[in-house]
Amino acid sequence: MLFTMKNRTYLIFLLFYLMQSNGFAQNSTIELTFSADSLGQEVLLDSVYVKNLYQNCDTVLYPPNLILEIDTLTTGISSVIVSENSLVIYPNYPNPIIDKSFVKIYVPERISIKIKVSNLLGQSILNYSGQLSKGTSTFEFTSGRETVYFLTVEYNGISKSIKMISPISSTNECTLSFKTTDEDDYFKTIQIGNEFCFAPGDRLLFAGYSYLGESGLLDIPSADSNYEFQFATNVPCPGLDSLYYKGKYYHTIQIFSQCWIKENMDVGIMIQSAEAQTNNNIIEKYCMGDYEPSCNIFGGLYFWNEMMTYTNETGGQGICPEGWHVPEDMEWQILEGAVDSNYRIGDPLWMNNSFRGSDVGGNLKQKGTTLWQPPNTGATDAFGFMALPAGYFVQNAFWGPEYKAYLWTSEYPQKYYRNMDWNQAKVRRNDGGNEAAFSVRCVKD
């Protein structure tokens, strides 16, 4: 047979394919492990939520000693391994609570436990103590006046908590009652099968839950990985209190697993609003009212293309310092889920183009009415983000100073942004702000 160049190319390709296939066959599983920290102190996780953002499937994992093993050939989870000698509290269901909710607690032996239910202020609302048999016990919880509860179980010197949401408060007292115990309702290896799906290249959202709140991470896993959730919040980012960039000092703020620059970006030269921002290798900004000192307070206003330095890269650096980037839409959704008291990270609500959440905007806005107009609804700045009412620029005019905050994402092609108002405790998500200039925040890579 004539050995042509075409045959040779095909043979090389076939050999390469077989080598690659053999490599994948030998390493068809990847293991993902999870831990948590708060400024150097270990935090015990109550659960980890995993969502495949590309295939819209999810699962929940239960520490301690938890390993999520993903089979990349069968595109699913092989197993979730947990210690059979440890206390496990499963997230209550349903959550948010509708009239009543059920909590499952696993103990490895017959023993006395204490259960405490407290509110956001840490005040004890009810207490339960009693003997539990080995296995998984189910409790029924009915909500009362509070909208957020923390259920804490103490066993053998160990304390673990879950967060329970009740969007509708009641005049009744909350109750907790024992229902049943199933000694067989626990397996050292929980077979999840096809409930979770995965293909190489899929992007995963991880949300870790502890008594300190919830913390989120994003990744496209391709090998064994260790993920550490950070639960410190409203403090400077560890090891980086501030940074100097293009003639100005900026402060940092740690909000769970995200490190943000605390101020709106103020980089580039100011041009008059009658001039267009152009691709001329010079960062150009507008200052509210064409008054440059306003940029010292509120930061600059940038069109999307100017902010991204005329690149169309989701998650790109844009006008941010080296090692930082303009946040993606999903990074904003993680922030929103982490700071809202009712809607969790990964909740489908965050995908809506509308005002969403419960108190997310209030928790992100600078408090008081020095810069914001009254009433500055719900503003607590509980996490140190300090969103400012910089307004925006559109149709050759400035709008909304002291009333509105608009912040870009780097999402392409949708060009999502976030909006907070003086009379609103929620945050609006929308897209397509091509004709407007907004504020910019940066998040660490």
Segment 239-270, tens digit of pLDDT: 999 999 999 999 999 999 999 999 999 999 99
pTM assigned to the model: 0.72
16 pLDDT tier (thresholds 50, 70, 90): very low
Q: Show the domains of the chain with their CATH numbers.
A: 29-75+194-230 (2.60.40), 88-179 (2.60.40.1930), 242-444 (no CATH)
Among residues 162, 188, 135, the alpha carbon closest in space to that of 46 is found at 162
Q: Are 403 and 391 in contact (CB under 8 A)?
A: yes
- The per-residue pLDDT for 435 is 92
- The per-residue pLDDT for 63 is 65
Least confident residue range of 19-33, 101-115, 286-300, 410-424? 19-33
Strands 100-107 and 88-89: antiparallel
pLDDT in tens, 24-71: 344 578 999 999 999 999 999 988 999 999 987 888 888 656 778 887
Query: At residue 339, does pLDDT exceed 80?
Result: yes
Mean pLDDT for all residues in the chain: 87
- The per-residue pLDDT for 77 is 56
- The per-residue pLDDT for 75 is 55
- The per-residue pLDDT for 342 is 92
Phi, psi dihedrals of residue 144, rounded to the nearest 5°: -125, -125
Query: At residue 169, does pLDDT exceed 90?
Result: no
Looking at per-residue confidence, does 163 or 205 come out higher?
A: 205
Least confident residue range of 87-91, 344-348, 366-370? 87-91
Measured CA to CA, the distance from residue 150 to residue 160 in angstroms comes to 10
- The per-residue pLDDT for 190 is 34
329 pLDDT tier (thresholds 50, 70, 90): very high
Write the secondary structure of the chain as one string of H (helix), E (strand) and C (coil).
CCCCHHHHHHHHHHHHHHHHHHHHHHCCEEEEEEEEEECCEECCCCEEEEEECCCCEEEEECCCCCEEEEECCCCEEEEEECCCCCCEECCCEEEEEECEEEEEEEECCCEEEEEEEECCCCCEEEEEEEEECCEEEEEEEECCCCCEEEEEEEECCEEEEEEEECCCCCCCCCEEEEEEEECCCCCCEECCHHHCECCCCCCEEEEEEECCEEEEEEECCCCCEEEEEECCEEECECCECEEEECCEEEEEEEECCEEEECCCCCCCEECCCCCCCCCCCCCEEECHHHCCHHHHHHCCEECHHHHCCCCCCCCCCCCCCCCEECCCHHHHHHHHHHHCCCCCCCCHHHHCCCEECCCHHHHHECCCCCCCCCCCCCCCCCCCCCECCCCEEECCEEECCCCEEEEECCCCCCCCEEEEECCCCCEEEECCCCCEEEECCCEEC
